[in-house]
Structures are given as C-alpha cells and as structure tokens.
C-alpha cells in the first residue's frame, strides 16, 4: 500500500509539473529539471502527444524492447533503407510533438542515440525544432524556421533552415567527429533563437558525451547553389519538434537507430554522470 501511495504522489507531482510523461524526473534519466519535458518510452508505445509524421521508403519507427538505454523500451528506427546515395530522396520515419505555448526562444535538448551497423554518407536527421518567422502568425509546419541535429558524410552535423519545403538556403555545419557506431552516445544541443542582442539567431551548438563538437566545415546549401548565407531569423517561441530518422538522400545499407531518454528544456539537461 505504501508503494501505491508513493506512486500516486509521484504521479500527481508529475501531473502538476506537466513534465515527464512516464518514469518521472530522476537521476537515471538525467532530467531533474521540473520544467524539462522528458520521454523514456517506458509506456512501450508511442508516448502521449507524439504523432506520426514522415513515412517514406522502407523501415519502421516504433517503440520496442530490442535495445533500451534505460528501462525496457526505446524509440527504434528499424531497418531504414531506400533510394541511392548521391540521389535525393531517402527513408524518413518520424514523429512530431507540439510544444507547450510560450515555450520561449531557447531550446536545449538531450537524447541518447545508438546507431548500427554503418555510418550513412547521406544526410540523416535525428531531431529538429521549429518556430514561426518573426512577426508571423502562421503556425503551419511548412511555414516555420528550424534548427536540426543530424549526421552527414558519416560525421555529426547541425543546420539552421528556413521553412521546408524547400528548407534551404540553409546554414550547414559539419563536424570533424565521426558518427559513433554500436554504443550509446549522449547527444546534447542548444538552439538559441534569441541570441541576446545579436541581429540573428545563434548557430546551433552540439555536444557528444559532454564534449562540444567543432565545425571545421560550414557552408550554405541551396538548390540551385548560392553563396549568400540565409538570414537566421530570430525566434519568439519554439512551437513544434520532430524526431526519428529522416534521410534526405538514399540509404542502401539497412540501418537501425535507437533513441532513448529524450528531453528538451529551457536550460541544459545534461547526461548521466556515468
């Protein structure tokens, strides 16, 4: 009975905080910040509020018990494959989530990611968050500016994009750090759409296992090409985010990703102490 009461209290507390939908803030998930939104996928199915979004080419995006980071379950992008490297169009399996109103212009994120068996050469998005253009009342997904964390040419990458489609001209930053295979990694990101008194939103920042990534390669991508970088429009409030895996070019090797202990907040969330 004592256990039930404690559980009930915990659930009430969580409901009040409007935070972690399941499992709750804990050292295990590194999500003690009551303002953070956390997902450990321990429902064993798609958590409340997330809806299926992209579904192109082969593979599945599901919550299953094949490889959890913590607990029993994780989000699993399973056997994604389709298209050809070097050609536009690739497997995309994603879910999206509407952020609470007045989320603000600064979004910190954290997710544990496991990738196997090979590093894609193609652009493989893992997470993005979007916000209305300055002065715009439009909230439709395809009208929003956005930040993205991804991999490209087998290395970590981050991008600032104008609305998609087309999503470019975009400001691309490619790291000198190869995508880690066959082990859990802690990815953190900072999307600072406010950037203080600066005229534009900040470039995205990303950390791998607590170490900030460098971006020796930065460029504008557009089709047709341009050398004029996009103006990174400032944010008032992030409104929606998307996760899963989204390949913008083909993927010929069937590849699996797992994502667990996903969290976003207005402050840095951090990784497990271990």
Site residues (CB under 5 A) for Ca ion?
A: 40-41, 68, 70-71, 73, 260
CB of 257 to Ca ion, least distance (A): 14
- Counting every residue written for the chain, the total comes to 274
Q: Which residues pair with 205 in a beta bridge?
A: 190
10 Å CB burial of residue 241 (0-12, 13-18, 19+) is: buried
- Residue 41 Cβ, how far from Ca ion at the closest point, in Å? 5
| Omega cis (within 30) before 21 | no
Question: Considering beta carbons, is residue 71 or 270 the nearer one to Ca ion?
Answer: 71
Give min distance, CB of 130 to Ca ion, in A.
25
User: Closest separation between CB of residue 184 and Ca ion, Å?
Assistant: 11
Q: Which two tokens stand for residue 57?
A: 């080419």
What is the smallest separation between the CB atom of 176 and Ca ion, expressed in angstroms?
Answer: 31
Q: How far is the CB of 129 from Ca ion (least distance, A)?
A: 21
CA distance 235 to 239: 10
The tokens for 115 are 């990738």
Nearer to Ca ion, 71 or 105 (CB): 71
Q: Which is nearer to Ca ion, 11 or 211 (CB)?
A: 11
For residue 6, report the phi and psi dihedrals to the nearest 5 degrees: -60, -40
Give, in order, the Cα–Cα distances in Å from 132 to each of 138, 144, 162, 167. 7, 5, 10, 14
| Cα 237 to Cα 205: distance, rounded to the nearest angstrom | 18
Q: Which is nearer to Ca ion, 107 or 263 (CB)?
A: 263
Of 170 and 260, CB closest to Ca ion: 260
Place of tokens 């899963």: 244
Closer residue to Ca ion (CB): 61 or 240:
61
* C-alpha to C-alpha distance for 244 and 78, rounded to whole angstroms: 10
Q: Are 128 and 148 in contact (CB under 8 A)?
A: yes
Distance in Å, CB of 162 to Ca ion, minimum: 34
**Spatial separation of the C-alpha atoms in residues 156 and 214, rounded to whole Å:** 10
Closest CA to 70 of 237, 270, 259: 259
Q: Which is nearer to Ca ion, 40 or 188 (CB)?
A: 40
């Amino acid at each position: 009975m004592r256990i039930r009461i404690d559980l009930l209290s915990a659930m009430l507390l969580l409901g009040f905080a409007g935070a972690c939908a399941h499992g709750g803030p804990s050292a295990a998930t590194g999500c003690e910040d009551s303002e953070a939104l956390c997902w450990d996928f321990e429902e064993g199915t798609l958590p409340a509020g997330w809806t299926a979004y992209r579904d192109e080419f082969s593979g599945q995006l599901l919550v299953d018990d094949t490889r959890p980071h913590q607990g029993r379950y994780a989000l699993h992008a399973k056997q994604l494959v389709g298209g050809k490297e070097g050609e536009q169009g690739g497997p995309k399996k994603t879910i999206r989530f509407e952020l609470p109103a007045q989320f603000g212009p600064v979004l910190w994120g954290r997710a544990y990611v496991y990738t196997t068996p090979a590093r894609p050469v193609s652009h493989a998005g893992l997470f993005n968050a979007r916000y209305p253009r300055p002065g715009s009342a439009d909230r439709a997904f395809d009208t929003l500016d956005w930040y993205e964390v991804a991999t490209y040419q087998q290395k970590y990458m981050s991008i600032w994009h104008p609305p998609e489609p087309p999503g470019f001209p975009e400001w691309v930053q490619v790291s000198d750090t190869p995508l880690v295979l066959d082990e859990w990694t802690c990815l953190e990101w900072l999307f600072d759409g406010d950037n203080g008194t600066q005229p534009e939103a900040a470039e995205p920042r990303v950390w791998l296992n607590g170490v900030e990534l460098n971006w020796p390669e930065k460029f504008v991508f557009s089709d047709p090409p341009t050398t004029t970088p996009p103006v990174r429009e400032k944010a008032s409030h992030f409104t929606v985010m998307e996760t899963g895996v989204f390949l913008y070019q083909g993927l010929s090797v069937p590849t699996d990703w797992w994502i667990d202990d996903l969290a976003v907040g207005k402050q840095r969330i951090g990784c497990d102490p271990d």
